[in-house]
Copies of this chain bind each other. A is one copy, B any other.
């Protein structure tokens, strides 16, 4: 990689980012990279508010494009999840320009709707990984450090361990993937190891979403499914009778999709980087 200082732009296509994040993340970046501290630019839109969202649809799409289409940025980093990316994906995809192809995109959860659209459009450095707001989690600095390590230097240590051993990978929140199936955002995951994680859903909903995902003809062409962590599972009345791994194995078996075990991803500080596609081809763009 070059010695140039990296520039990372943060945007919030879904929910509003906490102001504290904009203080803590640059401080952490300074301590991790004292010599070539990456410049982390928080788009003002991150702090905007419009009902559920960090600004209205137009403002969120425009902010994403401000960073994505600006040649001076090396990465578009999603501020946080929540909900709202699917509302802006179409407007974003219609207005991306050439510089947008020469940078990385990192996020997860709700942001999966945008990552899917970018990957589908042939973007080469799209990755599931921690977001800026993850610094507020317990041990959240480790999560943010991992995202920075990938954005700044494509550090192999930041990767989910399976990634380097298989041909192609992709990672999604279960509900978010379910909600883009059959839409223009659904990516071609033929031959990919598909890693799935969930947070804050009841077991019957996880089961229903996995019915939906594994019943999709496109998804059935994945090379296999791995299950990340399913955290903060809400009560199921009566007890569902299966845990999340039993559910995932059940639907893999029914759909003739290979069950490949557990993945080291989830809504937590240990959430690892999973590039979309063949990770061996993803390099830092020389500057």
* Nearest chain B residue, comparing its CB with the CB of A50: B241
- Of B181, B211, B216, B241, which is within 8 A of A87 by CB? B211
B238, A51: Cβ atoms under 8 Å? yes
* Nearest chain B residue, comparing its CB with the CB of A211: B86
* Nearest chain B residue, comparing its CB with the CB of A237: B52
Q: State the CA gap A149–B26 with chains docked (Å).
A: 67
State whether the Cβ of A239 lies closer than 8 Å to any Cβ in chain B: yes
Residues 227-244 of A, flagged 1 when their CB comes within 8 A of B and 0 if not, give 000000000101111100
B207, A83: Cβ atoms under 8 Å? yes
* Nearest chain B residue, comparing its CB with the CB of A178: B179
Q: State the CA gap A16–B239 with chains docked (Å).
A: 13
B51, A211: Cβ atoms under 8 Å? no
- Of B182, B217, B242, which is within 8 A of A51 by CB? B242
State whether the Cβ of A164 lies closer than 8 Å to any Cβ in chain B: no
B183, A216: Cβ atoms under 8 Å? yes
- Of B180, B209, B217, which is within 8 A of A179 by CB? B209
For chain A, the count of residues having a C-beta within 8 Å of the partner chain is: 34
State whether the Cβ of A212 lies closer than 8 Å to any Cβ in chain B: yes
State whether the Cβ of A280 lies closer than 8 Å to any Cβ in chain B: no
Q: State the CA gap A239–B53 with chains docked (Å).
A: 10
A14 to chain B: closest CB distance in Å?
10
B208, A183: Cβ atoms under 8 Å? no
CB within 8 Å of B: which of A22-71?
49-53
A95: chain B residues within 8 A (beta carbon): none
State whether the Cβ of A261 lies closer than 8 Å to any Cβ in chain B: no
Q: State the CA gap A183–B209 with chains docked (Å).
A: 12
State whether the Cβ of A161 lies closer than 8 Å to any Cβ in chain B: no
State whether the Cβ of A167 lies closer than 8 Å to any Cβ in chain B: no
B211, A179: Cβ atoms under 8 Å? yes
State whether the Cβ of A204 lies closer than 8 Å to any Cβ in chain B: yes
State whether the Cβ of A285 lies closer than 8 Å to any Cβ in chain B: no
Residues 118-155 of A, flagged 1 when their CB comes within 8 A of B and 0 if not, give 00000000000000000000000000000000000000
Q: State the CA gap A178–B181 with chains docked (Å).
A: 9
- Of B50, B182, B239, B241, which is within 8 A of A181 by CB? B182
A83: chain B residues within 8 A (beta carbon): 204, 207-208
- Of B53, B185, B212, which is within 8 A of A180 by CB? B212
